[in-house]
């Protein structure tokens, strides 16, 4: 991989990482502590990630237990979960919060799979946009006589191979997440 294309490879990697993060926040009917990754709680006047102010553990297959390090945070955490887009209702006993994940219906599973595919398609579009930017840069260099036509062709082939590889990775991620969601 040439130095010129390294920045585009990094951008494509970031797109894949971003998709992976989005997929961890999709709940597949099982308790997964990562769905709380985007939740922040007001802690001493600062918005702090939930993981930084509480211990999060999986009690059973469909239950998460959140134990705040300070009892005063229970109400804040509860409020943050209720105002999030998770669609879960927290239960607290004054010291800990329990999140129960309901069994997903077949219809809901299909909706989630559609969402997974849509997010995957968006990631593919981002990868293709990065490829376009790289090809534009290569063409400009060739027009400015900074590289030869042969070098231009080689770089374009290299960026195409990279694009194909990343698209294949995204397809694999879509397939894996879809299988996870459809598994009852």
Q: With contact defined as beta carbons under 8 Å apart, do 158 and 5 qualify?
A: yes
In CATH, what number is assigned to the domain containing residue 16? Answer: 1.10.132.20
Q: Residues 41, 50: contact at Cβ < 8 Å?
A: yes
Q: What is the DSSP letter of 93?
A: -
Query: Quick check: helix, strand or coil at residue 84?
Result: coil
Q: What integer pLDDT is reported at residue 19 of this predicted model? A: 92
Could you tell me if 81 and 46 lie in one domain?
A: yes
Do 109 and 95 belong together in one domain? no
- Residues 75, 41, single domain; the answer is yes
Which pLDDT score, from 0 to 100, does residue 2 have?
Answer: 62
157 and 125 within one domain: yes
* Domain extent at residue 82: 33-100
Q: What is the pLDDT of residue 32?
A: 76
Give me the mean pLDDT over the 146-169 stretch: 93
Q: Note the Cα 158 to chain centre separation in Å.
A: 27
Are residues 142 and 96 part of one domain? Answer: no
**Mind giving me the DSSP string for 45-61?**
TEEEEGGGTEEEEEEET
Query: Do 132 and 85 fall into the same domain?
Result: no
Residues 18 and 109 reside in one and the same domain:
yes
Instruction: Write down the mean pLDDT value for the chain.
Output: 87
- pLDDT, tens digit (0-9, with 9 covering 90-100), for 115-137: 999 999 999 999 999 999 999 99
The arithmetic mean of pLDDT across residues 49-67, rounded, is 85
- Among 78, 100, 122, residue at a domain's last position: 100
What is the spatial distance between Cα 102 and Cα 78, in angstroms, rounded to a whole number?
Answer: 18
Cα distance between residue 122 and residue 116, in whole Å = 10
pLDDT digits (tens, 9 = 90+) for 10-49: 999 999 999 988 887 776 667 778 878 888 888 888 888 8
DSSP H helices in the chain: 3-24, 73-83, 106-143, 149-182
- Where a domain ends, among 100, 122, 151? 100
CATH of the domain at 95: 3.30.1360.40
């Amino acid at each position: 991989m040439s130095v010129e294309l390294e920045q585009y490879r990094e951008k494509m990697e970031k797109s894949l990482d971003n998709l992976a993060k989005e997929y961890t926040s999709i709940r597949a009917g099982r308790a997964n502590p990562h769905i709380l990754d985007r939740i922040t709680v007001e802690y001493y006047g600062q918005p702090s990630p939930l993981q930084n102010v509480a211990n999060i553990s999986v009690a059973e297959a469909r239950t998460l237990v959140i134990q705040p390090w300070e009892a005063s945070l229970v109400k804040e955490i509860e409020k943050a979960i209720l105002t999030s887009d998770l669609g879960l209702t927290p239960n607290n006993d004054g010291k800990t919060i329990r999140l129960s994940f309901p069994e997903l219906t077949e219809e809901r599973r299909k909706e989630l799979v559609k969402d997974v595919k849509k997010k995957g398609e968006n990631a593919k579009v981002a990868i293709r946009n990065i490829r376009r930017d790289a090809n534009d840069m290569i063409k400009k260099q060739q027009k400015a006589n900074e590289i030869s036509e042969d070098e231009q062709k080689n770089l374009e082939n290299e960026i195409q191979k990279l694009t194909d590889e990343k698209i294949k990775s995204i397809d694999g991620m879509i397939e894996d997440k879809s299988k996870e969601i459809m598994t009852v």
